[in-house]
């Protein structure tokens, strides 16, 4: 069994909704913190009704269940003076607060960091916005696709000439949540030394700029040259052939950084010799090279190619869909799935934390709560 979780005893108030803030609170919960989700009585977190498919479980979307498992729900109408007073009393007991209201809203409610610090100077207060608290975009909606659009990240995906291609995941939300967790944990360490609280701030835009730090640094120091995506099966705008994904006779094969001189005899492709002899051509002629390789790799199965390439320590992998991943021994050994339940109406299979502590992966048996499910219990416990 895992020893005492590292954040055991810490109280986190999740005053956020949708993805970025709740994702951060979920990670703190996985590390042992007690997370109380503050929701409106009339509908709660809007993510409860943000359906990715037509599947709902217990009246809530699968998305909501995925990022709010293990939390408690306290229903509070912040326009109601009595509820607001009760929430302030709960804030006095909190170690961490996470909020992602649009700029100006939390100030009007009177629960911004400056106000909260007056009643709980030791609190670590985390704010997530769309575009930070300054600049011409502050008043615009902060949403993942819009953040991807403004960040430049869409121009790294897809093939040259294809136009901007968004990621198929809410990467801005997830990365902003991860950044907040880093800041919160650092602030908690400082508080343990000095007793001083902190205000941790990030935005969807900042998270996506940081996500690109490797390639953006190259651009900033390369005379301002925009990277050119490969015109054929682009996988990385700055990397040469064979880097990419190729169709085989029965599936797909990913090839990472590999010198063509090593790859040529293994693939039995003498036509690659001119490019192998001049390594710079692996970039300047990458589309030609990749098309040659694509035609050749289609002649045999993925398993056949792996049997040739893996013993030679070539960086390669079969491209798996979700059924293929879940059925693989490489995934099964991770033990990353768990079933969480809510009495009466919910049993959901979901993921577990992506890390281990003392050799054990954190887990929970509790599904996401109903709106206000724990309000009465929490009012009694904290004398609210």
pLDDT tens digits along 204-255: 999 999 999 999 999 999 998 999 999 999 999 999 999 999 999 999 999 9
Dist CA 340 CA 43 (whole Å): 22
- Across the chain, mean pLDDT equals 96
Residue 48 makes CB contacts below 8 A (sequence gap 6+) with 59, 60, 61, 64, 371
Dist CA 49 CA 18 (whole Å): 10
pTM of the model: 0.94
pLDDT of residue 51: 79
Dist CA 109 CA 115 (whole Å): 10
pLDDT in tens, 257-309: 999 999 999 999 999 999 999 999 999 999 999 999 999 999 999 999 999 99
Domains of the chain, residue spans = 11-211+334-381, 244-329
Assigned token pair, 11: 């109280």
Classify domain 11-211+334-381 by CATH architecture: 3-Layer(aba) Sandwich (3.40)
Residue 1 has pLDDT above 70, yes or no: no
Q: How confident is the model at residue 2 (pLDDT cuts 50, 70, 90)?
A: low
pLDDT of residue 9: 97
Is 244-329 in CATH node 3.30.1540.10?
yes
**Range with the lowest mean pLDDT among 1-10, 72-81, 196-205, 348-357?**
1-10
Residue 190 has pLDDT above 80, yes or no: yes
Q: How confident is the model at residue 344 (pLDDT cuts 50, 70, 90)?
A: confident
Residue 59 has pLDDT above 80, yes or no: yes
pLDDT in tens, 60-95: 999 999 999 999 999 999 999 999 999 999 999 999
Q: Do the Cβ atoms of 35 and 25 come closer than 8 Å?
A: yes
Residue 84 makes CB contacts below 8 A (sequence gap 6+) with 76, 78, 109, 110
């Amino acid at each position: 069994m895992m020893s005492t979780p590292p954040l055991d005893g810490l109280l986190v108030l999740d005053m956020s909704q949708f993805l970025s803030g709740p994702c951060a609170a979920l990670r703190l919960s996985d590390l042992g913190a007690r997370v109380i989700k503050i929701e409106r009585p009339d509908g709660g977190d809007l993510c409860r009704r943000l359906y990715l498919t037509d599947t709902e479980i217990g009246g809530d979307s699968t998305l909501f269940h995925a990022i709010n498992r293990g939390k408690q729900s306290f229903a509070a109408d912040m326009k109601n003076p009595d509820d607001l007073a009760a929430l302030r009393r709960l804030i006095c007991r909190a170690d961490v607060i996470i909020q992602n209201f649009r700029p100006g809203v939390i100030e009007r409610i009177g629960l911004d960091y400056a106000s909260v610090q007056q009643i709980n100077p030791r609190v670590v207060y985390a704010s997530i916005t769309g575009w930070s608290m300054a600049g011409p975009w502050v008043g615009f909606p902060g949403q993942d696709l819009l953040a991807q659009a403004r960040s430049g990240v869409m121009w790294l995906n897809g093939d040259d000439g294809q136009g901007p291609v968004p990621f198929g995941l809410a990467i801005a939300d997830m990365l902003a949540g991860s950044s907040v967790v880093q800041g919160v944990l650092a602030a908690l360490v400082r508080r343990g030394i000095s007793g001083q609280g902190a205000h941790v701030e990030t935005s969807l835009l900042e998270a996506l700029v940081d996500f690109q730090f490797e390639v953006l640094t190259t651009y900033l120091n390369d005379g301002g040259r925009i990277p050119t995506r490969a015109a054929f099966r682009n996988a990385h705008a700055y990397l040469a052939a064979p880097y990419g994904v190729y169709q085989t006779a029965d599936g797909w094969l990913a090839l990472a950084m590999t010198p063509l001189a090593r790859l040529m005899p293994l693939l039995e492709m003498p036509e690659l010799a001119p490019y192998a002899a001049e390594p710079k051509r692996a970039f300047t002629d990458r589309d030609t090279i990749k098309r040659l390789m694509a035609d050749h790799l289609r002649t045999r199965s993925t398993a056949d190619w792996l049997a040739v390439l893996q013993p030679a320590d070539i960086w390669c992998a079969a491209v798996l869909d979700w059924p293929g991943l879940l059925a693989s021994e490489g995934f099964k050994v991770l033990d990353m799935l768990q079933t969480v339940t809510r009495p009466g109406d919910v049993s959901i299979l979901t993921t577990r934390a992506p890390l281990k502590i003392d050799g054990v992966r954190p887990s929970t048996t509790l599904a996401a709560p109903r709106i206000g499910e724990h309000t009465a219990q929490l009012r009694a416990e904290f004398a609210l």
